[in-house]
Chains A and B, each alone.
Chain A
Amino acid sequence: MFACRRSSTLLRTLKPAARQLRHASQASSTAELNKPIDFKKTAILHQSQSSARSAFGLSQDAPVDWVNLHGAINGSLHHALKTDENVLLFGEDVAFGGVFRCSKGLSDEFGTSRVFNTPLSEQGIVGFAIGCAAEGMKPIAEIQFADYVYPAFDQLVNEAAKFRYREGGTGGHCGGLVVRMPCGSVGHGALYHSQSPESLFTHIPGLRVVMPRSPSQAKGLLTASILNSRDPVIFMEPKVLYRAAEEFVPRDPYTLPLDKAEVLKTGKDLTVVSYGQPLYLCSAAIEALEREIKGLSIELVDLRAIYPWDRATIMGSVNKTGRAVVVHESMYNAGVGAEVAASIQEGAFLRLEAPVARVTGWSTHPGLVFEKFNIPDITRIYDAMKRTLEF
């Protein structure tokens, strides 16, 4: 899985900095790398109003709010329902606000004919949504957990994805469809509250697969998915971030492109590609390694759109750095990392100075007590980056 060690041209030119002493407050834990993410300090989130304003190109008096991920999603849903009366929101338990509070207050404001509970049947929810979209509505269907999307797999793969293609000249399509689903690890979700099935959908032409990393991203990407996209969108929400990730978000509605990666941090020595929750781990690992090796600079890229994805941005980055690490929670084999790594070897072969490393969940199931040993953590990302640099 990982490349064997080889003398590195890169490390010969860089002097490792003296190891920094840890603060006393952290001494209670032996961990030097795998420390909990401090969401109040991470560079991934807009910790200041000016950061949010400049990221979105807003004037310095533009209103911004401090919101968490489920609040941002709620805001986006609210805006969509208010803007377009064709927007409908439904799924299991969404009427009272949803089990993660994403639809809080929407049923009261927009009525139970637009925001409503469905019977407990995923194939029914998605089939119903496809029919709504086929007749010109903009349905937002919620699957309570991504782990339960499989009963609807047929409807998504054979129907939603192929609808426009098979209708052809009739002009029929279900492009107004958005399927939201909480995904990813959450600490104690075990087999059926932890899965990240995105790579199953990235193998399906016709579906857009999107995963935001933060409240500001979620707001822009979800609004674009509902109001602008004329293709069906699988919108995956990392549930561990629902409350944890808080940042300053522009108050006024805005959209973000559904096919563009974003360079979160520029660098020249290595490209780290990820999406969703692991970006926070990547950021922490990069911080640790850059502190350790003076002069090292690592580029961090958020895919955002997992399919169709932004090959151009990734190739641009790797052709600059010559090294790449791909990180995701879901399983190694045929995961998103496989596609990204294969594309990099096609698109940056002559610039590559090390094999593309993949840091992913192991090839097993998300067993309850094994989670922190299974999914990528800061240590594993740190180690993969280091080995790639030393190759």
Chain B
Amino acid sequence: MKYRAVLRPLATSCRYRSVVRVRGQSKRWASDTWSAGPAQKAGSDSVHFPGALKSKFTSKMRFQNPAEETAMPTYRIMDADGNIVDNTRDPQSASDTEIIQWYRNMLTVSIMDLIMFDAQRQGRTSFYMVSAGEEGIAVGSASALTPDDVCFLQYREQGVLVQRGFTLKEMMSQLFSNKDDHGKGRNMPVHYGSGKLNVHTVSSPLATQIPQASGAAYALKMQRLINPNVPPRIVACYFGEGAASEGDFHAALNIAATKSCPVVFVCRNNGFAISTSSIEQYKGDGIASRGLGYGIDTIRVDGNDIFAVRAVMLEARKRALEGDCKPVLVEAMSYRVSHHSTSDDSFAYRAKREVEEWKRRDNPITRLRKWMEKKGIWDEDKEKEARASIRKQVLQEFSAAEKVKKPPLRAMFEDVYEEITPEAREQMKELKRLVEKYPKEYSSVSQYEGGIKTLE
């Protein structure tokens, strides 16, 4: 606990009498969210404590018990068999072509998952994380965004990238850390990013992107204040329910609310953070129940229902930009069908049968497929063709990316600062000397674009 007043006498010395004057001009003390509560009147039924302006008095002592509250409902448009249950809205809000594209995008993520998981098992890449069971959240929410909107991802949102136009070549370049990787081979696999698509590069520390998303959203809002011709944009920020336990989640939602930032927080609640089940992660009603505490519009949605995710995201985006802007929290429920990553064997902490049941019972891909088949825009032949062609494309890009050279060694030293520092230049020279002196020890240098010359 900080004792923040201790040095105030320093700040308010005799030389600086301005503080006294400042007090006279009461507005100086006011922040934009500050409001002066009138003194409490006799017989008033409400409290005018500045900390809770609308609280009424009560003579009944009642502790509010979360267990007595009904859990927040989960919104869905389509049931597990692909039947529409919410007839009040057009589930599509998109053309058949677009819906088929979403489906293909989900399939792409799913097929790439299988191939890359095996590739890692064969030691051809160092690491991979699949998103089985969560393709609907990623593709559905991304379909509601405009290309100008800015995305911050955690790491299990490959579908967002595919939906926004990230190519298989770009994905494979990242996964194989070759010279075409936007990240210049510096990040672990699955840490994608794209300047063109307004997706910030994934970083491993969990939840750090959440307050950054709040700040980015504030920047977008300010840019529109400076120049009203800039189109309205939001930030979409993704994270898992485990990451929501980090302090950064708290910091982010609180500051987004107090500074009215146009950001949509999308929590993927898939029941597990590696081996930790949600029952060990939190005691309240999921992540959604917390949104209200921060004064944030919140909804829980069925993450296996791509129509529901999309509809919720469209509405969230609209609300985020209304008036002075505001944040929105979406908790998308799903189940992590896969292992956490290639470094994890999830059957060490959960029953295989449970996973199989989830796989069989519900899945965003099969659910949309059922709907498309009922509508008559999809069939077994189309399914076979789609799977075969996507698989072929993935494998093509896979073997192409594997053959491309690694980024130049110089890239190891670049971008630490805008300019390479004199200190780093000396170290580049020293590394070059070592590689030249001991060529047998560093023979892999030929795999790097430009070889040793790039250290000059």
Chain A positions near chain B (C-beta within 8 angstroms): 68, 85-86, 88, 92-93, 95-101, 104, 107-108, 112-114, 116-119, 121, 123-137, 139, 144-145, 148, 151, 154-155, 158-159, 162, 164-173, 175, 186, 188-189, 192-193, 205-206, 208, 230-231, 239, 242-243, 259, 308, 311-312
Within 8 A of A (CB), among B245-284: 247-248, 250-252, 254-255, 258-259
- Tell me if B203 and A159 are in contact (CB < 8 A): yes
- Tell me if A85 and B255 are in contact (CB < 8 A): no
* 6 residue pairs A–B, Cβ–Cβ below 8 Å: A101-B18, A132-B219, A151-B247, A186-B7, A208-B417, A243-B16
- Tell me if B215 and A166 are in contact (CB < 8 A): no
Q: Which residues of A contact B329 (CB under 8 A)?
A: none
Within 8 A of A (CB), among B174-195: 181-184, 186-187, 191, 193-195
- Tell me if A119 and B186 are in contact (CB < 8 A): no
Does B323 count as interface, using CB distance less than 8 angstroms?
A: no
Within 8 A of A (CB), among B1-46: 2-4, 6-8, 10-11, 13, 15-16, 18-19, 22, 27-32
A96 to B21, CA, bound (A): 12
Q: Which residues of B contact A208 (CB under 8 A)?
A: 417
- Tell me if A128 and B32 are in contact (CB < 8 A): no
Contacts A101-B18, A132-B218, A158-B203 hold; do A124 and B211 have CB atoms under 8 A apart? Answer: yes
Contacts A169-B182, A193-B6 hold; do A128 and B214 have CB atoms under 8 A apart? Answer: yes
- Chain A nearest Cβ from B183, distance in angstroms: 5
- Tell me if B213 and A131 are in contact (CB < 8 A): yes
- Tell me if A124 and B10 are in contact (CB < 8 A): no
Interface residue range, chain B: 35 or more
- Tell me if A158 and B208 are in contact (CB < 8 A): yes
Q: Which residues of B contact A231 (CB under 8 A)?
A: 417-418
- Tell me if A131 and B219 are in contact (CB < 8 A): yes
- Chain B nearest Cβ from A235, distance in angstroms: 16
A129 to B222, CA, bound (A): 13
Q: Which of B7, B16, B210, B416 is the one whose CB lies under 8 Å from A164?
A: B416
Q: Which residues of A contact B28 (CB under 8 A)?
A: 96-97, 107-108
Contacts A169-B183, A239-B7 hold; do A154 and B191 have CB atoms under 8 A apart? Answer: no
- CB closest chain-A residue, reference B205: A158
Within 8 A of A (CB), among B411-428: 411, 415-418, 421-423
Q: Which residues of B contact A172 (CB under 8 A)?
A: 193, 195, 200-201
Does B145 count as interface, using CB distance less than 8 angstroms?
A: no
Contacts A96-B28, A118-B258, A132-B215 hold; do A168 and B181 have CB atoms under 8 A apart? Answer: yes
Q: Which residues of B contact A128 (CB under 8 A)?
A: 211-212, 214-215, 218, 251-252, 255, 259
Q: Which residues of B contact A127 (CB under 8 A)?
A: 208, 210-212, 214-215, 248, 251-252
Q: Which of B7, B186, B248, B258 is the one whose CB lies under 8 Å from A99?
A: B7
- Chain A nearest Cβ from B300, distance in angstroms: 25
Q: Which residues of B contact A124 (CB under 8 A)?
A: 211, 214, 248, 250-252, 254-255
Q: Which of A100, A113, A135, A188 is the one whose CB lies under 8 Å from B150?
A: A135
Q: Which residues of B contact A242 (CB under 8 A)?
A: 10-11
Does B306 count as interface, using CB distance less than 8 angstroms?
A: no
A243 to B13, CA, bound (A): 9
Contacts A85-B226, A96-B29 hold; do A131 and B211 have CB atoms under 8 A apart? Answer: yes
A154 to B194, CA, bound (A): 23
A203 to B40, CA, bound (A): 54
- Chain A nearest Cβ from B240, distance in angstroms: 17
A296 to B2, CA, bound (A): 47
- CB closest chain-B residue, reference A111: B32
A121 to B254, CA, bound (A): 9
A1 to B347, CA, bound (A): 56
| Binary contact track B390-428/A, C-beta < 8 Å → 1, others 0 | 000000000000000000000100011110011100000
Does B455 count as interface, using CB distance less than 8 angstroms?
A: no
- Chain B nearest Cβ from A125, distance in angstroms: 8
- Tell me if B215 and A175 are in contact (CB < 8 A): no
- Tell me if A117 and B31 are in contact (CB < 8 A): yes
- Tell me if B254 and A166 are in contact (CB < 8 A): no
- Tell me if A96 and B10 are in contact (CB < 8 A): no
- Tell me if B182 and A168 are in contact (CB < 8 A): yes
A206 to B420, CA, bound (A): 10
- Tell me if B219 and A164 are in contact (CB < 8 A): no
- CB closest chain-B residue, reference A68: B15
The 3 A-B pairs at the shortest CB distance, nearest first, are namely A131-B215, A127-B211, A124-B251
Does B217 count as interface, using CB distance less than 8 angstroms?
A: yes
A208 to B417, CA, bound (A): 9
- Tell me if B255 and A118 are in contact (CB < 8 A): yes
Does B94 count as interface, using CB distance less than 8 angstroms?
A: no
- Tell me if B416 and A119 are in contact (CB < 8 A): no
A92 to B5, CA, bound (A): 13
- Tell me if B184 and A135 are in contact (CB < 8 A): no
A154 to B204, CA, bound (A): 12
Q: Which of A99, A130, A135, A164 is the one whose CB lies under 8 Å from B418?
A: A164
Q: Which of B2, B18, B194, B211 is the one whose CB lies under 8 Å from A123?
A: B211
Q: Which of B186, B225, B251 has the most CB of A within 10 A?
A: B251
Q: Which residues of B contact A144 (CB under 8 A)?
A: 2, 4
Q: Which of B22, B250, B259 is the one whose CB lies under 8 Å from A121?
A: B250
Does B216 count as interface, using CB distance less than 8 angstroms?
A: yes
Does B309 count as interface, using CB distance less than 8 angstroms?
A: no
A65 to B261, CA, bound (A): 40
- Tell me if B251 and A308 are in contact (CB < 8 A): no
Contacts A97-B28, A168-B411 hold; do A159 and B208 have CB atoms under 8 A apart? Answer: yes
- CB closest chain-A residue, reference B220: A135
A232 to B416, CA, bound (A): 11
Q: Which of B32, B218, B415, B421 is the one whose CB lies under 8 Å from A165?
A: B415
Q: Which residues of B contact A154 (CB under 8 A)?
A: 205, 208, 248
A166 to B196, CA, bound (A): 16
A151 to B250, CA, bound (A): 13
- CB closest chain-A residue, reference B225: A113
Q: Which of B4, B6, B186, B218 has the most CB of A within 10 A?
A: B218
Does B125 count as interface, using CB distance less than 8 angstroms?
A: no
Q: Which residues of A contact B250 (CB under 8 A)?
A: 121, 124
Does B447 count as interface, using CB distance less than 8 angstroms?
A: no
- Tell me if A88 and B222 are in contact (CB < 8 A): yes
Q: Which residues of A contact B219 (CB under 8 A)?
A: 131-132, 134-137
Q: Which residues of A contact B366 (CB under 8 A)?
A: none
- Tell me if B200 and A167 are in contact (CB < 8 A): yes
Within 8 A of A (CB), among B353-372: none
A243 to B193, CA, bound (A): 46
Q: Which residues of B contact A189 (CB under 8 A)?
A: 6-7
- Chain B nearest Cβ from A169, distance in angstroms: 4
Does B223 count as interface, using CB distance less than 8 angstroms?
A: yes
Q: Which residues of B contact A68 (CB under 8 A)?
A: 15
Q: Which of B216, B250, B422 has the most CB of A within 10 A?
A: B216
